[in-house]
Structure 1
Amino acid sequence: MQKISTLTRNTLMFPLALVLFEFSVYIANDMIQPGMLTVTREFGASAAWMASAMTAFLAGGAIFQWLFGPLSDRIGRRPVMLGGTVFFILACLATLFSRSIESFIVLRVLQGVGLCFISSVGYAVVQEAFEEKAAIRVTALMANVALIAPLIGPVAGAFMIEVLPWRMVFVFIAAIATISLIGLARHMPETVKERKEKLPLVQIWHDYRAVVGNRHFLKASMCMPLLAIPLIGWIAMSPEILVADGHLSVVEYGYWQIPVFGCLIAGNLVLARQVDRWRLGSSIKLALYPIAAGIAIMLLGAAFLDKPYFLVAAISVIAFGEGLSAAVMIRFTLTESNVSKATVAATMGMINMTLYGVGIELYKVFYLHAGMMGFALFSTAVIALYWYLSRSVVARAMQARVTGHADQDATLI
């Protein structure tokens, strides 16, 4: 199929439907965060389960990534995406019958499976259907809409939990996902024209081995989660930092998330606006300045202040840098292998979710033993590793585009 180079009302209908599903999946995590204290109290569980619920959600996003990409190569992207949307809706509604913290955690894993369809199928279609700069612009704009979830999710969740049972949060999310399902059914293109008749496990193994055997892909695929881990850690730990330890109300907790995700959206908007003017990759280099400033604020605040509010300022500045970098880094990673885009996206998704989950659990350990300084030191280590890996990734990708190999999606990129 001919790739889309111009964004019009018609060509944007599929990305809008996809991002609405992405929004519903993300908000399944963000809206319940301010209510996790209520959930643990109802089930008689310890506060430690608050962050573990997010880890379970991310685990669900990792465990089946390997399957859905190759499956969509065989039966098509549309049926896999539509089936995944239905599965997510049912997993949300099943929360109405949860009666223990263990069953709640299991449902969090099942709801997290929705993440698999976004990365291994949905974003693969975007990369296959749109030309490079159009794909980056669509990815950045989709990220803005999806990021409304963590921007309004905590506030909306806090107000909803004040007046309704916490389980109604998931009924609301299922309703949003249902609207997305209708949009996807009407507008999602099928980009797999030559479908594989068989899906042998040996072939799947060879495809994934080819992807993970590409050291350039592995290096690029680690950059995105490393960049995002401080923000992910903040999302997971902020209920404990601000509500349990900082004694804020759940509504006040929600308000303190606004600058963080407002800055993330601002970074994406700047990227979407400047992508035609900047050389691809330059935004990643520019983003290192606000990221470094955020780390400095975090370390100084942890050393001299006893209130957690400086973390909001630090994470906000880092989030702006992430917004400038994310869409371009995703594109660089997806074009590092000539294996099927769905398989490459699935591998990237598994790496992302695994590192996010490990990062959250390490944040719990560092915060438990060293408080805000532990949070700051771990964030510094993660960003230092990101800086080290991203230098060669950006240099390689930019050189490939100079020599004209970028659109070939070959391993040389």
Structure 2
Amino acid sequence: MQNTQTTTLSRATFMFPLALVLFEFSVYIGNDLVQPAMLAITKEFAVSSAWAPSSMSFYLLGGACVAWLLGPLSDRLGRKKVLLAGVIFFVVTCLLILLTHNIESFLALRFLQGFGLSVISAVGYAAIQESFAERDAIKVMALMANISLLAPLIGPVVGAFLIDHVSWHWGFIGIAFLAFLSWFGLKAKMPEPKASIPKQPLSYIWDDYKKVLKNKTFMGMTLGLPMVAMPLMLWIALSPVMLVEELGLSSLQYGLAQFPVLGGLILGNIVLIKIVDRLALGKTVLIGLPLMLLGTAILIVGVIWREYFLYCVILGMTLVSFGEGISFSVLYRFALMSSDISKGTVAAAVSVLMMFIFFFVIELIRMLYAQFHLWAYALSCFALIALWFTIPRGLLKGIMQQRQARGEF
């Protein structure tokens, strides 16, 4: 296990997370800017609009397929080397997609671009958790989430502008430029570990993974993460089809509809930062998840009374995103710290499990949506949040009780 010196959060120490979040923003807007353009892209490639959500699912699949290696590799080679190499790879794949002429090659490049997600989750997040003390790490994650949330807020509006006035190709050029800028910031500000990095052979990777995957607390908390995050992911994947094709909104109206939903996530993260030092760690989750369940119930009400669907989906998803904002960073911390194995390996295991689940659920709901439309979306969101109230909730309460018994706040 790699031991590192943690630091307190200050203006100086925040420069590394700020550089990392610029890359995170580039990777996220690489999805959020592209999704509203997918209707135009599928039309250009002469394929059905049913392919539109696949841009997101292949992006996530790419991240899932490489995370298992990046985390352990960064344990052995160093986080900084792997992170800087990952940024360059992402830049190159963003530029290569400009040369695609069919949906198959486009999705292949989206798969490769998805490696950037693993660079952040399996390497960057592990470095954050190692660099800062417990509650400071949660605050940093929440602050980063708020900055990166500019991507889904700005992305749909910029994507709509590109569709109407220029070309979707320029979006990828802009994304590559932002990621390239982040490379310089990370090179200058990312700390080098003072502790020595274990020089174990790569054959040890599978042994480490077996120890992580046999940890029941880790598995329960990690499998609970996509239950919490999935409704908003489905919103990002399916909202272009729901709002533009089903409800007839314009591209600009679609972009504006994202503001209250994603604004709820920003507000949730701000509230988390403000109150995380005052409450027992985990308490915000017990507040946030019931709000998310209420939000998904409102989605079902909107499907029953279809004339109110637009209002219900915006209100319901705003509650869902607010609940996620005050919950997710805490749950991620608990999942990551539930195993004593090197944090690069643990973060990689979290990333692989989450992104594979994201891929399969998005593809499943995409197929169900083709048959059952809004019902498929609403019921899926409700079922995902309801599932969290089974094993993951019990494990969370168990962790909180253990912390209380140890005198940890």
- Give the structure-2-normalised TM-score: 0.96
Partner residue in 2 for 1:340 = 342
Q: Deviations over 1:94-124 (max 9, x none)?
A: 1121111111000100111100110111010
Decide which moves more: 383-392 or 47-56.
383-392
**Secondary structure at the residue paired with 2:201?**
coil
Q: Deviations over 1:297-328 (max 9, x none)?
A: 11111112246412222111111100010110
1:238 aligns with 2:233: no
The aligned runs of 1:84-233 (5 Å cut-off) are 84-191=86-193, 193-201=195-203, 203-233=204-234
For residues 293 and 397 of structure 1, the distance between their equivalents in structure 2, rounded to whole angstroms, comes to: 25
For residues 221 and 97 of structure 1, the distance between their equivalents in structure 2, rounded to whole angstroms, comes to: 38
The residue type paired with residue 219 of structure 1 is G
Q: Does the Cα contact within 8 Å between 2:36 and 2:159 map onto a contact in 1?
A: yes
1:43 aligns with 2:28: no
Partner residue in 1 for 2:7 = 4
The residue type paired with residue 7 of structure 2 is I
Partner residue in 1 for 2:394 = 392
Decide which moves more: 309-318 or 125-134.
309-318
Q: Does the Cα contact within 8 Å between 1:61 and 1:112 map onto a contact in 2?
A: yes
For residues 202 and 146 of structure 2, the distance between their equivalents in structure 1, rounded to whole angstroms, comes to: 38
**Alpha-carbon distance, 1:269 to partner:** 0.5
**Alpha-carbon distance, 1:204 to partner:** 0.7
**Alpha-carbon distance, 1:403 to partner:** 3.4
Decide which moves more: 23-32 or 308-317.
308-317
Q: Does the Cα contact within 8 Å between 2:266 and 2:322 map onto a contact in 1?
A: yes
Change (3 A) 1:117 1:365: same
**Secondary structure at the residue paired with 2:326?**
helix
**Secondary structure at the residue paired with 2:101?**
coil
Change (3 A) 1:396 1:247: same
Partner residue in 1 for 2:261 = 260
Q: Does the Cα contact within 8 Å between 1:226 and 1:385 map onto a contact in 2?
A: yes
The residue type paired with residue 361 of structure 1 is E
Identity of aligned residues (%): 44
Decide which moves more: 77-86 or 285-294.
285-294
Partner residue in 2 for 1:281 = 282
**Alpha-carbon distance, 1:198 to partner:** 4.3
For residues 129 and 105 of structure 1, the distance between their equivalents in structure 2, rounded to whole angstroms, comes to: 36
Partner residue in 2 for 1:322 = 324
Partner residue in 1 for 2:357 = 355
**Alpha-carbon distance, 1:406 to partner:** 7.1
**Alpha-carbon distance, 1:248 to partner:** 1.6
Decide which moves more: 72-81 or 244-253.
244-253
For residues 18 and 389 of structure 1, the distance between their equivalents in structure 2, rounded to whole angstroms, comes to: 33
Q: Which runs of 4+ in 1 moved over 3 A?
A: 403-407
Q: Deviations over 1:11-51 (max 9, x none)?
A: 00000001111110000000011111111111111111101
For residues 186 and 400 of structure 1, the distance between their equivalents in structure 2, rounded to whole angstroms, comes to: 40
RMSD of aligned Cα (Å): 1.5
The residue type paired with residue 205 of structure 1 is W
- Unpaired runs of at least 5, structure 1: 408-413
**Alpha-carbon distance, 1:373 to partner:** 1.9
For residues 106 and 359 of structure 2, the distance between their equivalents in structure 1, rounded to whole angstroms, comes to: 18
For residues 148 and 406 of structure 2, the distance between their equivalents in structure 1, rounded to whole angstroms, comes to: 32
Q: Deviations over 1:218-270 (max 9, x none)?
A: 00001111111111111111111111222222111111111110001100110
For residues 229 and 386 of structure 2, the distance between their equivalents in structure 1, rounded to whole angstroms, comes to: 13
Q: Does the Cα contact within 8 Å between 2:50 and 2:370 map onto a contact in 1?
A: no
**Alpha-carbon distance, 1:216 to partner:** 0.9
Q: Deviations over 1:264-307 (max 9, x none)?
A: 11001100111111111100001123212202211111112246
Change (3 A) 1:214 1:406: farther
The residue type paired with residue 170 of structure 1 is F
Q: Does the Cα contact within 8 Å between 2:289 and 2:327 map onto a contact in 1?
A: no
The residue type paired with residue 190 of structure 1 is E
Q: Does the Cα contact within 8 Å between 1:268 and 1:324 map onto a contact in 2?
A: yes
For residues 228 and 282 of structure 1, the distance between their equivalents in structure 2, rounded to whole angstroms, comes to: 18
- Unpaired runs of at least 5, structure 2: none
